[in-house]
A and B are shown apart, each in its own frame.
Chain A
Amino acid sequence: MQLTLEFGGGLELLCDSEKIHKVNVDLPNGVQELTMKDLLSWVRTNVIKERPEMFIKGDTVRPGVLVLVNDCDWELSGQLETTIEDKDVIVFISTLHGG
C-alpha cells in the first residue's frame, strides 16, 4: 500500500534529512491488515539510516516521539494496534530537543 511518512522534530536527520517519504509497503506474508507495529519495524529497516535507538525502543517508538496517523494521535486509535490503510499519512515528531 502507498503511504506517506513524515518525520519532524529532528527525526528527519535519521533519514538523510528527508522530512517526507512516500513509500510502498507490502503486507507481511499471511497477514490481512497492516498494523503500526508492523509498520514500525518496516520503517526501522527501510527508512531509518542511522541511530535507530533515537526512533525505536524495543517494540515501540522511543518515549518522547509523537505519532499521528491521519492527523490523529495514535493513542486514540490503539497505538501499536492501529490499522494502517492505503494512502494513510503517518507523522513522527520528536519532542526531545531544546525549546
Chain B
Amino acid sequence: MERGEAKSKKAGGPPRLCCICNERRPVLKRPKTLQQICRECFYEVFEEEIHQAIVNNGLFKSGERVAIGASGGKDSTVLAYVLSELNRRYSYGLDLFLLSIDEGITGYRDDSLETVKRNELQYGLPLQILSYKDLYGWTMDDIVKMIGLKNNCTFCGVFRRQALDRGAALLKVDKLVTGHNADDIAETVLLNILRGDIARLSRCTSITTGEDGPIPRCKPFKYTYEKEIVIYPFCCFKSSLDYFSTECIYSPNAYRGFAREFIKDLERLRPRAILDIIKSGEDFRIATTTKMPEQGTCERCGYISSQKWCKACVLLDGLNRGLPKMGIGRARGGGVNGGDHKKETKAGSTVKTLESKQCGSLDF
C-alpha cells in the first residue's frame, strides 16, 4: 500500500524520518513518547513493550492455562492476537483460551460474538461462551426493561465479573487476562477519586489483581495507549485483526463517560498525562487509620465479598423480587446488607457507611 508515499503532508519543514530506524516515512506520532515512528518500527516496539510488561511484572509462568476475556472489541481482539504471537515467539509456554460473555444485548453482543467466533478459528484458540441467561436467568435486555436506562452498567459489570470467574473455573484456567488499556485504567483512577472509593482506588492500578481470590487476573495492556491499540491493526494489515466496534446501546448514560471525555481532552493537551495518572494512582498510600472493607465470602453463593451477600446476589435478589433499586446507590437500611451497618454520618464526616460500597470484587 504505497498511496501517497511520495507526498509529504507537513505544513512547512523538511520531511522527517522515523525516529528509530531513520529510514522510513513516519506514520504515527506516539502519544507515549511523542516519537515519530514508521509502520514497521511501530509494530515492533508495540509488541516489544507488551512483552516487557509481561516479563517485568512476572505475569505468567510456563505451563499456565490462561483465559483471554474476549468481547470481540478492539482491545480483546488485539490482545488475543498479540498474546498468541508473543506466546509463540518467546515461548511463554502458555495454554491460551478465549472466554466470552454473552450479556444478552441484542444488536450489540450478538454481533461482537461473531468476531470472537472468527478469532477462535483464526488464532486456533478454544472458545467458551457463557451467557447471563444461563448463569442468572436474566439477559441485559430483560434487566433494562425492568430497571430503565439508569445504572445499567452497574448490573452488567458486576454480573460480568462473576461470569468471567465462573467461565475461568469451567475452563480450569490458572489466570484471566483482559484487554484493559492505559486509558481505561486512568479513567478508573479518576472515577474512584470522584466517587471517593478508597478500597477500589488502592487496587485499581495493580497489573495483577485478585491473587488472593478464585482467579487472578492481569492486564498486559496497562501501559498501552488506546490510540496505539487502534492503529496497530492498520500497521499490521492482518485481516484477522478485524474487530467489532460499536458503543453498547446502554452505555451513553454511564458515569464513566464523563471521566473518559476528560481523559481524552487531557490527552490532546499532554499525552503523557494518561501514564502519569496511572503512576499517581500507583503511588497513593491509604492512611492506616482508614477503615477498609474486610474481605469475606457471600453467604448465598460463596463468592468473594466484603458484605454479607455479594453484590451480584443483592442485585439478582432485587430483580427477582421486582425491587430494581436494591443494591444501587447508598443503602438506607433494609435489605440483607443494610441492617446492622448503619452509621450516623455527621455533616463533613468522611466515614461513609460500608454497605454503600461496592462489594470487594476482584478489581475495578
> A interface vs B, CB < 8 Å?
8-10, 13, 62-64, 66, 68-78, 81-83, 85, 88-89, 93-99
By the criterion CB–CB under 8 Å, are B27 and A73 in contact? Answer: yes
By the criterion CB–CB under 8 Å, are A70 and B268 in contact? Answer: no
Contact of B181 among A62, A66, A99 (CB under 8 A): A99
Q: How far is the CA of A88 from the CA of B234 in the complex (A)?
A: 17
Q: How far is the CA of A78 from the CA of B11 in the complex (A)?
A: 6
By the criterion CB–CB under 8 Å, are B234 and A68 in contact? Answer: yes
One digit per residue, 1 when the CB lies within 8 angstroms of any chain A CB and 0 when it does not, for chain B 71-95 equals 1011110000000000000000000
Task: Tell whether B292 is near chain A: CB-to-CB under 8 Å.
Answer: no
> B interface vs A, CB < 8 Å?
1, 3-4, 7-12, 16, 25-29, 36, 39, 71, 73-76, 179-181, 183-184, 226-227, 229-231, 234, 245-248, 251, 260-261, 264-265, 267-268
By the criterion CB–CB under 8 Å, are A75 and B29 in contact? Answer: yes
Q: How far is the CA of A72 from the CA of B11 in the complex (A)?
A: 14
By the criterion CB–CB under 8 Å, are A9 and B245 in contact? Answer: yes
User: Which residue of B has the minimal Cβ distance to A98?
Assistant: B73
Contact of A72 among B27, B75, B229 (CB under 8 A): B27
Least Cβ–Cβ distance between A61 and chain B, in angstroms? 10
**In the assembled complex, which residues on chain B have CB atoms less than 8 Å from the CB atom of A77?**
8-11
Question: Would you mind naming 30 contact pairs between A and B with Cβ atoms under 8 Å apart?
Answer: A63-B265, A63-B267, A63-B268, A66-B231, A69-B4, A70-B4, A71-B1, A71-B3, A71-B27, A71-B39, A72-B28, A73-B28, A73-B29, A75-B28, A76-B16, A76-B27, A76-B28, A76-B29, A77-B8, A77-B10, A77-B11, A78-B10, A82-B9, A95-B226, A96-B264, A98-B248, A99-B74, A99-B179, A99-B180, A99-B184
Least Cβ–Cβ distance between A73 and chain B, in angstroms? 4
By the criterion CB–CB under 8 Å, are A88 and B248 in contact? Answer: no
Q: How far is the CA of A95 from the CA of B12 in the complex (A)?
A: 29
Q: How far is the CA of A97 from the CA of B260 in the complex (A)?
A: 11
Least Cβ–Cβ distance between B42 and chain A, in angstroms? 10
Q: How far is the CA of A99 from the CA of B4 in the complex (A)?
A: 31
By the criterion CB–CB under 8 Å, are B234 and A76 in contact? Answer: no
By the criterion CB–CB under 8 Å, are B27 and A95 in contact? Answer: no
Q: How far is the CA of A42 from the CA of B260 in the complex (A)?
A: 27
Least Cβ–Cβ distance between B110 and chain A, in angstroms? 14
**In the assembled complex, which residues on chain B have CB atoms less than 8 Å from the CB atom of A70?**
3-4, 7, 9
**In the assembled complex, which residues on chain B have CB atoms less than 8 Å from the CB atom of A13?**
246
User: Which residue of B has the minimal Cβ distance to A74?
Assistant: B9
A68, A89, A95: most-surrounded residue (chain B CB, <10 A): A95
By the criterion CB–CB under 8 Å, are B7 and A99 in contact? Answer: no
User: Which residue of B has the minimal Cβ distance to A70?
Assistant: B4
Q: How far is the CA of A15 from the CA of B267 in the complex (A)?
A: 27
By the criterion CB–CB under 8 Å, are A98 and B71 in contact? Answer: yes
**In the assembled complex, which residues on chain A have CB atoms less than 8 Å from the CB atom of B11?**
77-78, 81-83
Q: How far is the CA of A64 from the CA of B264 in the complex (A)?
A: 6
By the criterion CB–CB under 8 Å, are B261 and A71 in contact? Answer: no
User: Which residue of A has the minimal Cβ distance to B25?
Assistant: A72
Q: How far is the CA of A81 from the CA of B7 in the complex (A)?
A: 15
Least Cβ–Cβ distance between B134 and chain A, in angstroms? 22
